[in-house]
Every structure is written in structure tokens, then in C-alpha cells.
């Protein structure tokens, strides 16, 4: 059974606990990209307009169960107050007697923000007592944090089992967009996977190869693929632990439909030098490290993008946060925007790059959850969605 839609959850005069994904990037205590906060506004406004008292919970960074002052949510509460146009009081904890007392006097139309959930290790461990402490604050629960739906955490899974629960508007919108890729996507279907960590994406790549028509690999993870294919990669990043897995994947692809496409040239830098150079071909000279895809790769990948009907992209093609090594990432994003395909871009880095390339408004859907979106596309059940589905079943 699908999750209960937000408009079917009775909220008037009730305290509603909302799991949002407000894990925004901070530099010197200042928010550098508030996209995730803005994405949460429709659900929050819906609840407030319908007479709910709203209790927001989120995580920020990876404090690993300890209080880290730099990861307190004060900047988030200030930005949220500005965007909502009303005061959002930030509490000093997320469970306990003081939190319960503050929430107990909350009136319809008012909002509080609980402190960083991950200051407690019970959050990531899905500790039942921690989940009960959160659930005790409210009468109902809404999950609007698609980016954490692939995590079996207390605020994502545990609370949903204790309160009447519904999916937020953002989660519903994310699922609708991704379902277009899962359920009979228009062909050719192209996936573009970048970033640095092979370990995070090898399982997803294997699954996607069974679903897509073409799969382009870029970013630092491409060097492990190139090494496994027998090419010299110089001093480029190499994941030796997963080299055998990648080699097996390449062998399967070569013996089958040959869907995998790897970079054919690179922008490289030499240790101790600031200037970069282009390689003549696939090989990267000894002592040099690949840092972006080269112009031949951009042209080849862009041609494949132009001939696709459905596109999913996750992860940058190079060190995009340091121009001019953002060239490959931005060029492919512009090619996606110029194409006639239905496109979905997932992950914070990819979305940030789309805004920097000034093409975000020409992408079919910007998915707030990178890891969650990739797992969703493999067909694997996400714990957060499964918990909402189970809650809907119990409601009958």
C-alpha cells in the first residue's frame, strides 16, 4: 500500500512532527546553499495553513553522537524563519523534559526546530527509546526528508511505527519523478555516474546496467574503472579495494551489451604544480593525476546525451568546486538541459553544479537525495518509504 498522502492526515489542532532534510552546507557558520530548506517549505506551509503546530527535526553533518557546536542548527532556524516569514524557535536538544515542556505549550500555527538529531547516537542506531522520545512530542508524523529515506534511522523508521504517519509533499514529488525512470522509461535511457567513491556506487552501477541502455562513468571513480580496463592512470585516485569488483563488472559488460562508456581523455595536474594539461588519449602520464574529463570525452558524452530520451545523472565529472576543473561537469549539465530528454539530477554536488551552470530551471527534476535516489532506481525498498507504507497499512 502506498504511503498516506499529506492531505489525508488529520492535523488541525495537532502537534505534527516533521522529519525534514535541512542538512545544508555551512562555511564559517553561514549557509552557502539553502536549496534543501526551500524544498521543505511547501509541506511546512501546508501543515501550518491547516492549523497544525509543527515540530521540525533534522540532522546536520556527521557529529557521530556527540555535541559539535559548529553543527548546531541556529543558522538553519534563522534562515527558516526568514523563508517562512515567521519565528522558528530552535530548541537546545531534541528529546528530554525541557524539550517536552517547550513543545507542550506550542500553539497551532507555531513552529519549533529540534536540535541536531545526530548529537544522539540513538538516531543512527534506530534506538527504540530514542524513537519513543521523539514520538512522545507529537500526535502525528510526516516524513519529508527523501534524502534520508534510505537510512533506517530512528527519526525515519522508528517514529513512523509509533504515530499516524504520512509522506510530505517533497517525498511524494521525488517518488513521482523517479517512478518515471523505474516504470517503463522512454528509451534510450542514459545514466551518468560521477563522484569519487567507487565503494558508494559499485552496487548501484551494477543494478543500473541491467536497466539502462548506456551508462557513462566520470569523476575520480572513473580512474579505478580505467585501471581495471588496463589503462595507465598515473597518480590518479585509485580504489584498490574494489578494483577486482570493477574488473568483473567491465568483463560482464564487454561480454554483453557494452553499455559502459569511460573517459577517453583527461585534464591532468602534476603534483606541486598549479597548471594543468590535456592528455593525448586515455592514458595519464606517471606523476600526473586526472582532475576532469577532457574535450574529446565531453563531445562523446554530449552526443550520447543528445540522443537519449531519459537521463539520470549523479555526481560531478571532476573537481567542479575548483574552476576551471568544473568544465566537464558544467558542459554535460548544459548538454542535458539542451536535450529533449526527461532528466533527473540527484545529489547535492550535482544540484549545486546545475545552479552554477545556470541550467537548474531546465532540468526535469532536481532530486534532493543523491544516495536515496540511486537506491530507489535499483528497485530496492527504501526503509523510510517502507515504514510509511507499513503505517498506511496499520491505519486500515
Kindly state the cell numbers that stand for 235. 597518480
Query: How much is the mean pLDDT over the chain?
Result: 95
| Distances, alpha carbon 119 to alpha carbons 36, 112, 125, 130, 377, in Å | 20, 18, 12, 12, 31
Kindly state the cell numbers that stand for 282. 586515455
Phi, psi of 82 (to 5 degrees): -65, -45
Instruction: Indicate whether 274 pLDDT > 80.
Output: no
Q: Which CATH class is domain 6-168+381-395?
A: alpha beta
**pLDDT bracket for residue 196 (50, 70, 90):** confident
Instruction: Indicate whether 152 pLDDT > 90.
Output: yes
Element (H, E) at 285: none
Going by C-beta distance under 8 Å and a sequence separation of 6 or more, which residues neighbour residue 387?
Answer: 143, 156, 157, 160, 161, 165
CA distance 348 to 334: 17
> pLDDT exceeding 70 applies to what percent of the chain?
99
pLDDT tens, 51-88?
Answer: 999 999 999 999 999 999 999 999 999 999 999 999 99
Q: Are 283 and 264 in contact (CB under 8 A)?
A: no
Same fold, 6-168+381-395 and 187-340: yes
* 295: helix, strand or coil: helix
Q: Residues for the chain: how many in total? A: 396
Does the predicted model carry a pTM greater than 0.75?
yes
The residues assigned a catalytic role are: 36, 197, 348, 371
Q: Could you confirm whether domain 187-340 is CATH 3.40.50.1260?
A: yes
Confidence (pLDDT) at 383? 97
**pLDDT bracket for residue 314 (50, 70, 90):** very high
Confidence (pLDDT) at 275? 81
* 167: helix, strand or coil: strand
Lowest mean pLDDT among 57-66, 347-356, 375-384: 347-356
Instruction: Indicate whether 371 pLDDT > 90.
Output: no
Confidence (pLDDT) at 31? 93
Kindly state the cell numbers that stand for 179. 517512478
Confidence (pLDDT) at 170? 97
**pLDDT bracket for residue 348 (50, 70, 90):** confident
CA distance 184 to 344: 15
Q: What are the sequence ranges of the domains in the chain?
A: 6-168+381-395, 187-340
Instruction: Indicate whether 291 pLDDT > 90.
Output: yes
Instruction: Indicate whether 272 pLDDT > 70.
Output: no
* 48: helix, strand or coil: helix
The residue-averaged pLDDT of 385-393 equals 96
Kindly state the cell numbers that stand for 47. 501543515
Query: Sign of dihedral through CA atoms 74, 79, 83, 86?
Result: positive
The residue-averaged pLDDT of 42-50 equals 98
| Distances, alpha carbon 23 to alpha carbons 57, 59, 116, 162, in Å | 11, 6, 10, 24
pLDDT tens, 83-117?
Answer: 999 999 999 999 999 999 999 999 999 999 999 99
* DSSP one-letter string for 186-245: -SSEEEEE-SS-HHHHHHHHHHHHTT-SEEEE-STHHHHHHHHTT--BTT----GGGHHH
Confidence (pLDDT) at 379? 86
Phi, psi of 359 (to 5 degrees): -125, 5
The residue-averaged pLDDT of 26-45 equals 93
Amino acid at each position: 500500500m502506498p504511503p498516506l498522502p499529506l492531505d489525508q492526515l488529520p492535523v488541525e489542532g495537532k502537534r505534527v512532527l516533521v522529519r525534514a532534510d535541512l542538512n545544508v552546507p555551512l562555511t564559517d557558520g553561514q549557509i552557502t546553499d539553502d536549496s534543501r530548506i526551500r524544498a521543505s517549505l511547501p509541506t511546512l506551509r501546508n501543515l501550518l495553513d491547516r492549523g497544525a503546530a509543527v515540530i521540525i527535526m533534522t540532522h546536520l553533518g556527521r557529529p557521530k553522537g556527540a555535541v559539535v557546536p559548529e553543527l548546531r542548527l541556529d543558522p538553519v532556524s534563522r534562515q527558516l524563519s526568514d523563508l517562512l516569514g515567521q519565528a522558528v524557535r530552535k530548541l537546545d536538544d531534541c528529546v528530554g523534559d525541557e524539550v517536552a515542556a517547550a513543545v507542550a505549550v506550542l500553539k497551532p500555527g507555531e513552529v519549533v526546530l529540534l536540535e541536531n538529531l545526530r548529537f544522539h547516537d540513538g538516531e543512527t542506531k534506530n534506538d527504540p527509546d530514542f524513537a519513543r522520545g521523539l514520538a512522545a512530542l507529537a500526535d502525528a508524523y510526516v516524513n519529508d526528508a527523501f534524502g534520508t529515506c534510505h537510512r533506517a534511522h530512528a527519526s525515519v523508521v522508528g517514529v513512523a511505527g509509533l504515530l499516524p504517519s504520512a509522506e510530505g509533499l517533497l517525498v511524494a514529488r521525488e517518488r513521482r519523478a523517479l517512478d518515471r525512470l523505474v516504470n517503463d522509461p522512454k528509451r534510450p535511457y542514459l545514466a551518468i555516474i560521477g563522484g569519487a567513491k567507487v565503494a558508494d556506487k559499485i552496487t548501484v552501477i551494477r543494478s543500473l546496467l541491467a536497466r539502462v541502455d548506456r551508462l557513462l562513468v566520470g569523476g575520480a571513480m572513473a580512474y579505478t574503472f580505467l585501471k581495471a580496463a588496463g589503462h595507465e592512470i598515473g597518480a590518479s585516485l585509485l580504489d584498490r579495494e574494489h578494483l577486482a569488483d570493477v574488473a568483473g563488472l567491465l568483463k560482464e559488460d564487454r561480454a554483453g551489451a557494452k553499455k559502459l562508456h569511460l573517459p577517453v581523455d583527461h585534464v591532468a595536474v602534476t603534483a606541486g604544480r598549479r597548471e594543468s594539461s590535456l592528455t593525448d588519449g586515455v592514458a595519464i602520464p606517471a606523476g600526473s593525476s586526472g582532475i576532469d574529463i577532457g574535450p574529446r570525452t565531453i563531445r562523446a558524452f554530449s552526443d550520447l546525451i543528445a540522443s537519449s530520451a531519459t537521463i539520470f545523472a549523479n555526481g560531478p565529472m571532476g573537481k567542479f568546486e575548483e574552476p576551471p576543473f568544473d568544465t566537464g561537469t558544467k558542459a554535460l549539465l548544459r548538454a542535458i538541459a539542451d536535450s529533449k530528454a526527461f532528466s533527473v539530477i540527484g545529489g547535492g554536488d550535482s544540484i549545486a553544479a546545475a545552479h552554477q551552470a545556470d541550467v537548474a530551471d531546465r532540468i526535469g527534476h532536481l532530486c534532493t537525495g543523491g544516495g536515496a535516489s540511486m537506491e530507489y532506481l535499483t528497485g530496492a525498498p527504501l526503509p523510510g518509504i517502507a515504514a510509511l507504507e507499513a503505517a498506511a497499512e496499520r491505519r486500515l
